Structure formats: structure tokens, C-alpha cells
Chain A
Amino acid sequence: MPIDRRAYVYLAAGFLAVIIAPGVIQTVAELRRGETPGALELFLRPPTARNLHAYEHGLEASSLVIQRLRPRMQYAEWRFLDDAGEKAVVGREGWLFYRPSVRYEVERPAIGPESDSSDPLPAIRSFRDQLQARGIRLLVVPVPNKESIYPELLTRRAQGLGVVVNEQTQHLLDELDRNGIEHVDLFQVFRRVKQDQGRTGTGRLYLARDTHWSPAGVHAAAASIARQVLAGGVLSRGDHAYSERSVVAQRAGDLVEMLRSASIKGSLLPESVVCSRVVQSDSGAPYEDRPDSEILILGDSFLRIYEHDVPGAAGLIAHLARELGRPLASIVNDGGGSTLVRQDLARRPALLSNKKLVIWEFAEREIRFGTEGWRIVRLARSASEFN
């Protein structure tokens, strides 16, 4: 092939154009908006490591070129390579899985404690003991990862595996037993439901493109938690009459939202989810919490879905209240099932004043990846002590 000098010119000029254009476009756009070009902020702050890092991050975050091109690239990767990015893993039959949950299932736990607050047991035991000192019973509810219940939809190799219980999870459940900490084994519950229903595609316990459970999962969990609460004998069934009304909610799925690509979201039809909204039998008004209830439920987004999201009053809290025949008090902290939700409770000591039972829900993956780990949270003895 003959060497043509014009090829060298084309190559050099094209390269320079590509590396210069984004900065020029950005600067022109910022000047047109009457702003000081972001690139000049370098000279407005002392050159400390923190400021330089923030400057670099700021340039990237505000880049018009990145904002334009990133979603297109993400869509191309999704479309042609089945790559759902850093947050999600593409499974089978159109199912998506949350990458941290998948990592929880397959990764080796760190040898020895990763940090002082990496072991859930001391935090759970301390919480149980503090509640017990006030005469309050604790019921722990780890919610299985979606991958634990539907491994065959994550990968073909798991076909026929049924329900899996990760070693670390099993270890925690065994430790809860050993320490006399009451808990609900939703793995057993969901295994039974899954076996009963078969894998027909209907009545699955989790949503296809969401990290959370389906209304069927909510129902199964609420029924089994209620059974265990009532079997404990501390509380009997209340006399509040609730009934259910069928409502259809449209959910794009939080995993789809996490991809942050309008193109991907637009290419997927939202899931139509048939929910049962819990209403007061007499007035027809949707279920509402009662802070003075004898039962407090704490948890993460597994409590939030369908309850505070659309359609409302159709999540675990409402369905548990229906099963127990009494309204509940609740504290929900998205992603904070391990520590944050207990810290929320510690800031509201009055909420515990008349409680007989605390139900504490957290997602299985939090056993390892809990936000802020598993800190021991001291509860004030009373509202006055807190103040």
C-alpha cells in the first residue's frame, strides 16, 4: 500500500479535533449560559488533593459530550452485548439481577472480620438485648436475594437448583438459632411457594426487572411473619377489619432505573403488577400506620415497595397489618436495613414507649454489603434520655 502524506495529515488532524472538541464545546456552552467555564475553576481553589479530585470529577460530571454519548453507548452495550453496566446483570427470560446481590452469592467472604462492624451478629444480639430489657420481643426477617430464589433465571447452569441459601446467610441463620434470636426463615417459605406454584411464569415471588419481590412475595412473607407473630403468644390477632382491592401498578423496575439510560428504559415495556391494596373494611380508606401501635416494623426498600410507592398501602406493612388485624408503626430506610434504620429508631425513642414487638426486616445481601456495616446502635432508655 503506497504511503500518502495526506493520510498522516488526516490522522493527526482528526485526533486533534477529537481531543479538542469536547473542551471547546463545553466552554462555549458555559459561556453562552453566562457561566464561568468549569475548566477555569482549577485556578479558583488551592491545589489540594481534595480540590483537584473534585475538579476532575466536576469536569466529567458536567461534560455535555459525556451526557450525550454515555446513554447511547450504554444502549449499544445493552442491545448488542447483553451488558447492563455496573449495577445490573442480565439473566435469562428478560430478567435482570442486582450486581451486588449476585456478588454476594458468588464471592468469597473476607477472611476474618472486614471491619469492626462487618459481622451482623453482635449488632443483632445487642439490639435484641436492648429491646428485651424493655420487655419488647424482636423478630428478625432476612429477605432472600432474588438470585437465591430464582437462580435458574440468572444462569442456565443453576437449572433445577431450586432455592439456594448462601453459606454466609446459612451461617447467620444458624447463629440466630444458637443465640435464641427469633427469626422468620423466608427461604423455607419461598421454597415451598415456588414448589407449589411451579415455574409457570405466573405468581413469581420477585419482579423480573426489579430487585424487589412481587405482590405474591409480599403475600407469602406477610402470611408467614403473621403466623410466627401470633404463634409467639405475646400478641393476639387484633379486631381491625381490613379488606383487599385489586389495583394494577406499572413498574419499569428499579434495575432499569439504575441503568440511567432513557433509551434502554424506552425499549422495555413496564411490568404490569397486579397488587392488592389494603383498605379499611368500614370506610374503604387505604391502610395507614399508627405510631402508637404495639408493633413496630423496621426495614429497607422491601417495606417501601407498593407501600409508599404506587399503588400505596399494598406492601408488606399493609399486608402484615391485615394478617394481624391491627395497624403497625413503621420506619423505612431505603438501603439501610443493617444499621441506618436502627439509627433512625434511636433518634425517635418515643416510638418504643408502648411496643411489645419489633419486626426487623433487611435484605440478604446486607449481611455482607450493609450500608454503614452492622454497627451496634445504643437505644436511649426514654425520650428524655435521648434529649
Chain B
Amino acid sequence: MAWLSMVFTTYLFVFYFLPLVLASYHAVDHLSRRVGASSSGTCLALNALLVVASYLFYGWWNPWFILLMLGVTVVNYVCGRIIGQPGISRRLSFWVATFAVVVSLGTLGFFKYFMFLEINLNQALAWLGAGPVHVLEITLPIGISFYTFHALSYTLDVHHGTAPPVRSFLDFACYIALFPQLVAGPIIRYNTVADQLVSRTHTLEKFSSGVTLFILGFAKKILLANAMGRVADAAFGAQSLSAPDAWFGALAYTLQIYFDFSGYSDMAVGLGRMIGFEFLKNFDSPYKAENITDFWRRWHISLSTFLRDYLYIPLGGNRGGAVRTYFNLIVVMLLGGLWHGANWTFVAWGAYHGVLLAWERFQGKRSAYQRSPRPVRVAATFVLVVISWVLFRAATLHEAVTYLGAMLGQGGSGSGMLLIPALLYTRGTLVFMAVALLIVAWPTQAHDWSREITWPKAVVVHPLFCLSLMVMFSQSFNPFLYFQF
């Protein structure tokens, strides 16, 4: 079970939290400049305000988990300060960094994977004929996967000398808890925002482009992801499915997870711009990828680069020969899969991607596949990705295999198969799926589209926001998929 925090697409966030935070933030900025405070002093005051707002945002549904996040923050801050001391030995730096990594990953491991281990241990014990151990029920704190990675990124960057140690605890707490990216990313690497924590600019252009990106993300989530989610839920919950229905459901989930997560990322980056931050792009038209390697350059870029820099390269990357490279790729993807959740389905999903990455590396650039026309490569990659989402979406491996069987025409029989079109092929579903596919194929992305605002864009964006809000008012189905990770 996971606790929720405040969610961007709620009445409370849009109409109370956000206006209050923006008003306070820009009022403090304005006042600070009027009294002649330095740029860094102003930033410190703004960071303090953001820490308070972010802790309120995070602790909204369970204030006690603030303490856990604070604990991870303090440990990594202190370790970073020690590592950053001038003249510290390389050896001590290594052990302090190791301590921080163990504490952060230990926290993540305990809250996210301990129950999973217990349950699997019990299954193994049952198989051996032994009695079960008592399963400790652990509540998963929302966003823990993201903020522990943020903390790790800081400690490791400082240890490797790629970023300076933070100047104050407030700056660091702000980096860890910054509400736009706190609970569902993107994973912000410390060295990409270190400067912005000390000094950042606030301009009308940046604010407006942030507003535009936030609205586009909001619309993606409310209008497209939720509509696709209803279809996916119906298909994945169905008793029996024909092959076309199963593919339709898998396609709906493929679109749901993209618009859900990229919508969230757009909102996060947009909110960041509104308060002066510039975060990197987290999606780059992933469904236009030409192969799986390309897909991982485009999907959840902040995670794939994190795994590349902090796991794949330390494992040896491609420096140990072909076989070692394949092994590293598969290990990284397995762990990347497991990062998404304590379930064998995520492990299988990671393994699937790892094997495909290794296979592509093995095939090289001269394979028949790589020499085929680009539309064929894109379409084939898309199909492979759709299949992978089945592993990701299913509640159990058995369910995933059953669903994949349905996609191959082994979806069973029964009256349910004949009735399910009522839930899958409604007029609304078809309209939203067509729009979603059109946007997937559209050459321009929200992140880039929002950079420069012209009158036609400004005129389009407001009605889109109002429409999305009205749809939000009428919806009760409003999950955020990446919150569970």
C-alpha cells in the first residue's frame, strides 16, 4: 500500500496550493530585491519558502513521512559536507559516500522491497515444506524512489567531484523536496541544478513558458491518460478477450502510461520554470524510437541517464568486451525494472528490455533490421514496446502471460468477450485515442513547443486549460501511475 501526497490534478492543488505558493514565492522575491538583498540571499529565502511548501505538499496525507524524507536529507547533507571538506582523503571520502549510499538504498530497500522479500521467502519455505515467517506490513512512502535517487545523486556527484558541496542545508533540503518533481520525477541530477539553487532568474518569458508546459501536461493527463486508463483497466481486468481487443487494451495502456508520465513530467518542468528552475527534458517522442536502444534514449531520460552514469558505467559499461557489455545491460535493466516496484512483473519487464538491448548490440548496425526502412523500424519497435507494457501493467506474471496469450488469440471464451466492446469502443474512447495517436506522431513536443509563446499558442492554451479543468471536475477516475513507483 502506498500513501498519496497532494496531486497536481486536484482542486486543492490547482486552486489553493499553487496560487498561494506562487504568490508567496514571487512576493518574497520582489521584496527581497526591493530591500537590496543579494541574488544568493534572495535565493536562500526563496528556497526556505519552497522547503516549507514542499513539506506541506509531501506530508499532506501522512505528515509522519516527512520525518523519513528529512532523515535521508540530513544523512546525505552531512555526508556531502564531510566529503566536500578540503583535503579529505580519497579513502575517507569513499567510505562516507558508501555510508550515505547504504543508508539511502537501505531506506528504499526496507520500505519498498522488504515485504516482497518476505512474501517470496514464505513461498520458498512453503515449497520446502516449512512454515511461513510473519509478514511485516509496510506502508510505502510515496516518492521514496525519487528522493532517495536525488540524495544519492548529490552524494555521488560531490564524491566524484562533478559538483560542489551544497552551501546550506536549506538549499539541499530544497533540492531533495522540491515539490514539482518530488513524488514522480523527473529525477533531477544535483549537478544539473546546483547553480540554480544558488542563483536563478525569474522572467515573464520563463514563467509563461512554464505555464504553457504545465497546461499541456495537465491536459495530457486529464484528457488523454485518464480516458486511456479506463480502457486499459477494462481490458486488463477482463475475463476473456479476443486478440484485437487485447491489442486495443495494450495500446490504450501504452498511451495511458506515456501521457500520464510525460504529462506529469511536463507539469513538473512547467512548475519548475514558474519558480525559476530549468529542468531537463524527460521524454523525447519515445514512441518514434527506431529501436529499443533509441527508445531508452527517449523514455524517462532522467532515469536512463541516472542508471547509465551511476550503474552501467561503474559496472564497466562496454569496456569489458561484448559478453560483459550484454551482461551489464541486462543487469542494469533488471535493476531498473525492480526500481519501478517490488513485483516479478517489473523484473520481467526489465529483463525483456535488457535482453532486447543486448540483442541489438549483438546484431550491430548492419543487421537486416537496421537496414530496413525507418517506418518499419519505428513500427517494429513500437510493437515490442507495447508488448513490454503488458508485463509492466499486469498485476502478476500469470496475468501477464494470460494477457499476452490473449494477444495471440488465446484469450479464452465466454460471454464477457462479447460484452466488453461496451467498455472498450465508446465514442469518447475512440476520439481520445485518435487524438492521442495524433499527438504521439506530431513532430513537435510539448517541451519545445512551450519555449516560445506566440499569440496563436497563447490563444489555444487557455481554452485547453479550462476544458481540462472542467473535465477534471467531472472525473472521479484520476490515478497517477508513477506515484506508485
Q: Which residues of A contact B (CB under 8 A)?
A: 1-5, 7-12, 14-16, 18-20, 22-23, 39, 47-49, 52-53, 56, 59-60, 63, 65-66, 69-70, 72-74, 77, 80-83, 85-86, 89-91, 97, 102-103, 105-109, 147, 151, 154-158, 161, 164-167
Chain A to chain B contacts (Cβ below 8 Å), 9 pairs = A9-B204, A9-B208, A11-B212, A11-B462, A49-B62, A82-B426, A82-B428, A151-B418, A156-B421
Distance of A15 Cα from B274 Cα, bound (Å)? 12
CB neighbours of B237 from chain A (8 A): 103, 106-108
A59-B11, A106-B416, A154-B422 as given contacts; A49 in contact with B63, CB under 8 Å: yes
Contact A73 B471 (CB under 8 A): yes
Binary contact track B193-224/A, C-beta < 8 Å → 1, others 0: 00000000000110110011001000000000
Closest 6 CB pairs of A and B: A81-B428, A164-B415, A8-B208, A1-B454, A106-B416, A108-B239
A15-B211, A82-B428 as given contacts; A47 in contact with B63, CB under 8 Å: yes
A264 CB, min distance to chain B CBs, angstroms? 12
A288 CB, min distance to chain B CBs, angstroms? 40
CB neighbours of A20 from chain B (8 A): 15, 19
A355 CB, min distance to chain B CBs, angstroms? 37
Distance of A51 Cα from B454 Cα, bound (Å)? 44
Within 8 A of A (CB), among B431-485: 431, 452-458, 461-462, 465-466, 469-471, 473-477
B417 CB, min distance to chain A CBs, angstroms? 8
Interface of B is mostly: helix
A105 CB, min distance to chain B CBs, angstroms? 5
A41 CB, min distance to chain B CBs, angstroms? 12
Give the number of residue pairs across the A-B interface with Cβ within 8 Å: 174
B420: contacting residue among A8, A18, A60, A106, CB under 8 A = A106
A12-B211, A90-B426 as given contacts; A167 in contact with B414, CB under 8 Å: yes
Nearest A residue (CB) for B61 = A49
CB neighbours of B453 from chain A (8 A): 3, 7-8, 11
Contact A23 B419 (CB under 8 A): no
Contact B458 A77 (CB under 8 A): no
A56-B12, A90-B426 as given contacts; A158 in contact with B419, CB under 8 Å: yes
CB neighbours of A72 from chain B (8 A): 470
Nearest A residue (CB) for B206 = A8
Contact A18 B208 (CB under 8 A): no
Distance of A5 Cα from B82 Cα, bound (Å)? 47
Contact A77 B474 (CB under 8 A): yes
Distance of A259 Cα from B435 Cα, bound (Å)? 26
Distance of A63 Cα from B426 Cα, bound (Å)? 30
Contact A2 B454 (CB under 8 A): yes
Contact A39 B16 (CB under 8 A): yes
Contact A23 B454 (CB under 8 A): no
Distance of A109 Cα from B15 Cα, bound (Å)? 40
Distance of A80 Cα from B476 Cα, bound (Å)? 19
A12: contacting residue among B63, B204, B471, CB under 8 A = B204
CB neighbours of B212 from chain A (8 A): 11
Whether, in the assembled complex, B124 has its beta carbon less than 8 Å from a beta carbon of chain A, the answer is no
Whether, in the assembled complex, B311 has its beta carbon less than 8 Å from a beta carbon of chain A, the answer is no
Whether, in the assembled complex, B323 has its beta carbon less than 8 Å from a beta carbon of chain A, the answer is no
A19-B18, A20-B19 as given contacts; A105 in contact with B11, CB under 8 Å: no
Nearest A residue (CB) for B425 = A155
Contact A5 B204 (CB under 8 A): yes
Contact A11 B466 (CB under 8 A): no
Distance of A72 Cα from B454 Cα, bound (Å)? 31
Whether, in the assembled complex, B34 has its beta carbon less than 8 Å from a beta carbon of chain A, the answer is no
Nearest B residue (CB) for A89 = B422
Distance of A157 Cα from B470 Cα, bound (Å)? 33
Distance of A60 Cα from B11 Cα, bound (Å)? 6
B474: contacting residue among A15, A16, A74, A166, CB under 8 A = A74
CB neighbours of A65 from chain B (8 A): 15, 473
Nearest B residue (CB) for A82 = B427
CB neighbours of A70 from chain B (8 A): 470, 473-474
A73: contacting residue among B63, B234, B420, B473, CB under 8 A = B473
B470: contacting residue among A15, A69, A156, A164, CB under 8 A = A69
